[in-house]
Structure 1
Amino acid sequence: MSAASYTAPSSGGFESPESLSRADTHEEVTPGDIAVGVTIGRTSEYFDFFVFGIACVLVFPALLFPSLSRIDGTLASFAIFSLAFIARPFGTAISMAIQRRWGRGTKLTIALFLLGSCTVGMAFLPGYERLGFWAIVLFATLRIGQGLALGGTWDGLPSLLAISAPRQRRGWFSMVGQLGAPVGFFLAAGLFAFVYAQTTPEEFLAWGWRFPFFVAFAINVVALFARLRLVVGQLYSHLLTENVLEPVKVSEVVRSEGRNVAIGAFAALASFALFHLVTIFPLSYIELYSEQPVVDVLRVQMLGAVLAGIAMVGSGWLADRFGRRNTLGTMAALICVFSFVGPGLLGSGQAGNNAFLLIGFVLLGLSYGQSSGTVTANFTPHYRYTGAALSTDMAWLVGAAFAPLVALAVSARFGLFGLGIYLLSGGICTLAALAINRAIEARDSESTP
């Protein structure tokens, strides 16, 4: 590790991308430091969302919709699940305004406090039997609060990581930041599996399900202090400012670089579509249409999360060797292939269910590991901070928000063939977006004197 001191770059880049040190303390700031901060933050966010997603299958149909059939109650729960992704772009717009007025630390504190409060607030709410329709309203309101909060958790660290990482290792460092997804899911699934196995069905619905929501609040507190230590530090703030990673109005980004927002969202669509189709959706489908015990499914998914983490590491090596966009495009093509094979596995018995989950998680790791910021270099420096956040918001909204709802509804009505069509469309959209992005780059390079 180099001991060279940090010198503010005049061109918006880093003079020494491999090692930066604090001028007044000798404490070094490296891409690895930034990656750890990104991973900690993302783990807490994913944990919160997976806790809610698993509860949509195991808890909310009976807690909030006892008068509906099991499948209709699950579909209604998935509708509430999607509200956070609809609210997320609005949260980004609000949080950018807060940051411009009061600073990054204030914005992040408000966002994580709101996220944790909404999550733990759900743990205290009674169900439909006590509150009636107001129970649904309150859960939906808190879910919207989670989405607004998640829009405010954007701290610029992924963009800073992409800039500061050595060019030949950008795939690796981009992958490190994505590891929060499998870690967050592993923790959420593990907690639910433990509580579900240790309680009776009555105890689980009465109080057992609430325990993971309390844990989510504790994790948020830890993540808040870990991230604040990074983003409000004098040197990090200086680095973010020097690299023009500062917020601008969302309307300004959409007006000036809306095309790049759309390309960034659709370039990651295959990964984001697959995201909930191997985590939340199969748990609901197997629970409804299979005799496989819930705890067994969760344990297989935990194994899948481990495989996804290993696959993410592999995606970093592949991206640095063959290029990030080439890797993402190849994985999108493999997801298209899986869209023909996967539906035949799911619903074909326990062995087929497990194969669908494990193969799906491996593909998720390989693709999602490089889905973040692959085309955000398209943004001009002035818009990169807000543009990257907005592209991610739109990828979640278009690709993942309604995935469990649509997949379960279509599968219940038309069979798992509909699941394959959904996955195939995501893969095609990613390949098309990457092709358009490549064509635009080629045109721009030809027009440059």
Structure 2
Amino acid sequence: MSTTFEDQREPGDFSHEDIGRIHAQAKVAPGEIAIGVVIGRTSEYFDFFVFGIACVLVFPTVFFPFESRLDGMLLSFAIFSLAFIARPFGTTLFMTAQRRWSRGTKLTIALFLLGSATAGMAFLPGYGVIGSWAIGLLAFFRFLQGIALGGSWDGLPSLLALNTPPERRGWYAMLGQLSAPIGFMIASALFLFLHAELAQDDFIDWGWRYPFFVAFAINVVALFARLRLVVTEEYTRAMEERELEPIGIIPMIERQGYNIFVGAFAALASYALFHLVSIFPLSWITLGTTQSVNEVLAVQIVGAVAGIFGIIASGIVADRIGRRTTLGTAAALIGVFALFAPWLLGGGKAAQDAFILIGFLLLGFSYGQAAGSVTSNFEIHLRYTGAALTSDFAWLIGAGFAPLVALGLSARFGLVAVSVYLLSGVACTLLALRVNRALAAKE
């Protein structure tokens, strides 16, 4: 079997005897941890996808009526990126809060902030009522979303990676990633229902606000589900014995800061594809009027199901050929897909639907193992903070600006820009994987 991220023995790693002792003392089953990851992440993805879909269907009309529909979407996508810029700051701030108080306190504040910021958007008057204040408040709430998401890191993915049998790490790693297509599916289905059942004026006036209200309720449920796990004695003991506790950002960067960037770029192809098959097609297709909004949302819901199958397949394949090999293979497949992207997305309904469905399947296969680049390159006592920051920068570099860049460049230069964007992500992933292998060989 190929050497994988999780197979690399760092100086701070525990021996097999230590692992056995920890399993015996801190009885937190991998399946239970995976459930906690899925529940917690689903609420976060739902919040972010609700905003992303609204950037296409709602915000250009409500907050940027003075611009063309294209420019309104571009401005909305610019605000969309603010949350990804804010995430590293949120991680730093809430790591300090956890060291001062507790993990449960930090998580409670972060998720209530996330839900409140999302629900706050539902109460915002449009530009026609309060002018530019509406745009400023939308940007403010979006920035708060990013701060809160950075603070919601609970270490569950790292604990899951360290508590699974080596031969099953690919399988358990993919379980936590299922939250992405599930969150997208719920958000898309809710918008599809409202957009299909309401008159357009009613949808723009008040209908779009309901998904933002729902987000707060989902976050409350997710909070209690996660607290039920993270505040237990078994979980706390497992985290402490694994040294999965927050440390200062500066010491972490001084010790292994290079791993943040290696890990962020190792899964860049997956993150680059993430919003190019979820948010971008909705904007491009509706602008071109080749399909209705409802038709695109319906296909994307099916695409999310394909993404789930892709994620499951990644777990099976990774346990057979290794996680690094799986990530590299997925990147190569994304590269091939990128070559056909302009023809598919610029074609008729069948070709556009194929772009969405194939894209989601590839996204699932690549994203299913993307967490491996986040959790495995750090020494044990650095992993809690390092994994959080690596995830933040992976999202920022790979996905944060994807809808804005893809739509802006495609509108100016054509859909070949999508190919270039994806191929650049593929190149970064393959290079980072090679660097990672070289670093592992030196240790």
Query: TM-score w.r.t. structure 1 length?
Result: 0.94
Equivalent residue for 2:6?
Answer: none
The yes-or-no answer on 1:15 pairing with 2:20 is yes
Residues 1:10 and 1:350: Cα distance change in structure 2 (over 3 Å)? closer
- Is 1:262 matched with 2:261? yes
User: For residue 40 of structure 1, what is the aligned residue in structure 2?
Assistant: 39
Could you say if the C-alpha distance between residues 228 and 285 of structure 1 is closer, same or farther in structure 2, counting changes exceeding 3 Å?
A: same
Cα offsets for 1:213-233 (capped at 9, x unmatched): 111111000000000011111
Q: Give the partner amino acid of 1:268.
A: A
1:372-419: CA deviations, max 9, x gaps? 033632211121100000000000000000000000000000000011
1:227 maps to what in 2?
Answer: 226
Q: CA–CA distance in 2 between the matches of 1:169 and 1:362?
A: 22
Q: How does 1:26-175 map to 2 (within 5 A)?
A: 29-175=28-174
Q: Show the counterpart of 1:5.
A: none
Report the residue type matching 2:56 in the other structure: V
| Residues 21, 246 of structure 1: alpha-carbon distance in 2 compared, 3 angstrom cutoff | closer
- Secondary structure of 1:165's counterpart equals coil
Give yes or no for contact 2:46–2:186 (8 Å, CA) kept in 1. Answer: yes
Q: Which has the bigger relative contact order, CA under 8 A and spacing at least 6?
A: 2
- Equivalent AA in structure 2 for residue 416 of structure 1: L
Any stretches of 5+ residues in structure 2 without a counterpart? 1-13
Look up the match of 2:179: 180
Structure 1 residue 29 displacement after superposition: 2.8
The aligned counterpart of 2:11 is none
User: Does the CA contact (< 8 Å) of 1:290 and 1:349 recur in 2?
Assistant: no
Matches of 2:239 and 2:141 in 1, distance apart? 32
Q: Give the secondary structure class of the aligned counterpart of 1:378.
A: coil
Superposed, 1:262-341 pairs within 5 Å as 262-341=261-340
8 Å contact kept, 2:95–2:151: yes
Cα 1:58–1:38 change in 2 (3 A) is same
Q: Classify 1:385/1:13 alpha carbon distance in 2 versus 1 (closer, same or farther; 3 Å).
A: farther
Determine if contact 1:270/1:427 at 8 Å carries over to the other structure: yes
Quote the Cα distance in structure 2 between the aligned partners of 1:253 and 1:11: 26
Gaps (5+ residues) in structure 1?
A: 1-8, 23-27, 445-449
Q: Which amino acid aligns with 2:130?
A: L
How much does 1:206 deviate? 0.3
* Residue identity opposite 2:263 in structure 1: G
Structure 2 CA distance for aligned equivalents of residues 310 and 135 of structure 1: 40
- Structure 1 Cα separation of the partners of residues 103 and 314 of structure 2: 31
How many Å separate the matches in 1 of 2:195 and 2:107? 33
Aligned counterparts of 2:18 and 2:317: Cα–Cα separation in 1: 25
Q: Which amino acid aligns with 2:411?
A: A
Identity, % of aligned positions: 62
Deviation at 1:344, TM superposition (A): 1.1
Count residues with an aligned counterpart. Answer: 430
SS of alignment partner, residue 15 of structure 1: helix
Q: TM-score, normalised by structure 2?
A: 0.95
Look up the match of 1:352: 351
CA distance in 2, matches of 1:376, 1:38: 14
CA-to-aligned-CA distance 1:69-93 (integer Å, 9 cap, x gap): 0000000000000000000000000
Q: 1:10 to 1:371 in 2, by over 3 A?
A: closer
CA 43–375 in structure 1, closer or farther in 2 if over 3 Å, else same: closer
